[in-house]
A and B are shown apart, each in its own frame.
Chain A
Amino acid sequence: MLRIDCPFCGTRDHSEFSYGGDGSVTYPALDAPMQDWHDAVFLRENICGRQVETWHHVHGCRMWLMVERDTMTHEIFSTRPAHPGLASALEAAE
């Protein structure tokens, strides 16, 4: 069981969350060329080691999170809201 420290709810079993995907992918503008979309949608770095990835606290606060995790050891290093505005608001509150 991964234990994910949700910034809104506290540390919870990963079964409360659902894994999204590679958090480093940036999606192009809606009117961007097909190749840009192809690369963003279909190609993956597939990192073995530390990666930033998205998780959704689907059975909790329903916030999307950016989780920094080692894909080999499953160790989690940090968790923050995926929404940058919320992330900075939380940071400021600390």
Chain B
Amino acid sequence: MTRFTAWNVFWQGMTGQKGWTRQWRDPEPKAHYDVVIVGGGLHGLATAYYLAKTHGVRNVAVLEKGWIGGGNAGRNTTIVRSNYARPGNREFYEHSLRLWENLSHELNYNVMFSQRSHIALLHSPGAIDAASRNYNTMRLTGTADAEIWDLATLKRAVPHLNYAADARFPIMGAAVQKRAGTARHDAVAWGYARAADARGVDIIQNCKVEGIARDGGRITALDTSRGRITAGKVAFAVAGSTSLLWQMAGLGRLPIESHKLQAFVSEPLKPLLDQVVVFGMGGAHFYISQSDKGGMVFGGDLDWYKSYAQRGNLPIVQDVAEAAMSVLPCLGRVKLLRHWSGLVDMSMDGSHFICKTPLDNLYLNAGWNYGGFKASPASGWWFADLIANDRPAPMIAPFDLKRFERGLQIDERGAGPDCKLHG
């Protein structure tokens, strides 16, 4: 593997770029792996990387039915933050953010994590109190970058928002996480793939799992479009297909429903917005940032109805455009370049699962709702830990499938058992 450095970029530029090699191999699947990870998204690839790196488990395959990073890895709005307040989520996402902060160096791949601040607009005294509770929690749990801004501070930092006094929802302040920001989503997938591959992990693309062979409480083999693969341990990290694989493994129902979430990008513009700005008021939900290429990247709510189609509909396009104009009225003449949608596995409390399953050697990583992108480093870290040690570390103990029986609440929104409300 050629190391990625300014020197090598220079040297390869001088010598015709001949020295760059495949960033990951294209191996034929072996007949057996110690661990088979199903799903070549961010979570699966990160898991493979940490299995190989931290736990020394190197006879690992990542099976991807299409091309790696082709699911939600490449369909999100790339926001990274850790402004969660519920015990469980708080520590998990903070750990994830810490991994993000050094991820480019860790992977020797520029994932362009830009800690440009995440700014949630606040519009009422009650909203400021509610946000203060969460941001106080962040402060007291070791996150010094949580702040509540008054209007004057906000205006200085983000000058082009809608500060009209007669705005539909006048802005009163903002809740700010300064270490939060955005990253280059594809690079994360490729970076993990390259680093995992370098440690011996086989990344096998165009390999669809079509059947699961069981011997009682164990999975013995996966029947794939590229042949049968036997596995010591099997791990699912397949957002959007979790329920389908779960049922293929002969298991029952999950506290998950698949929905689609649209995302939007505008034509490239010279710098207009330097932070991530989030708006939530009057039933609307909207978030926007500007990519390094210049496109305004934004999104809003789910399409509200369950779906397995990566294809959105106009009502949400309109809703999101309305919110965009409400937050940044100068966007009227900016043109939408592209909108698409991803499949999100919405869970019953808006929190995820990294857990053991009813089968001895099957592990589940699922239910990321809106939050999967920012979670991916910690998700991979702790999923690898779970797979390697066959027991959940305290960090992920809350995130099992039985928590609803216990009545454990990790419900950031307080929305209750209706998946679609946890956006």
Contact = CB atoms under 8 A, between A and B. Distances in A.
The answer to whether A and B interact is yes
Interface of A: 1-2, 13-15, 18-19, 21-22, 34-35, 38-39, 41-46, 48, 51, 53, 55, 71-74
Contacts of B418: 21
Given A13-B315, A19-B420, A48-B244, A43 B308 contact: no
B306 A53 contact: yes
A74 B420 CA distance: 17
B255 interface: yes
B308 A71 contact: yes
B301 interface: no
Size class of the B contact interface (CB-based, 8 Å): 20 to 34
A24 B405 CA distance: 21
Contacts of B420: 19
A53 B404 CA distance: 23
Contacts of A71: 258, 306-309
Contacts of B307: 71-72, 74
Residue among B255, B305, B307 with the highest chain A CB neighbour number at 10 A: B305
Nearest to B253: A43
B256 interface: yes
Nearest to A40: B417
Nearest to A67: B305
17 contacts: A19-B304, A21-B306, A22-B257, A34-B405, A39-B253, A41-B404, A42-B404, A43-B254, A45-B243, A46-B242, A46-B243, A48-B244, A55-B305, A71-B309, A72-B307, A74-B307, A74-B311
B12 interface: no
B304 A18 contact: yes
Interface string B294-323: 000000000011111101011100000000
Contacts of B244: 48
Given A18-B304, A46-B256, 11 more contacts: A1-B313, A1-B314, A13-B315, A14-B315, A41-B348, A44-B253, A45-B253, A46-B306, A72-B307, A74-B307, A74-B311
A73 B309 contact: yes
Nearest to B302: A19
A72 B308 contact: yes
Interface string B336-378: 0000000000001000000000000000000000000000000
Residue among A2, A35, A43, A72 with the highest chain B CB neighbour number at 10 A: A43
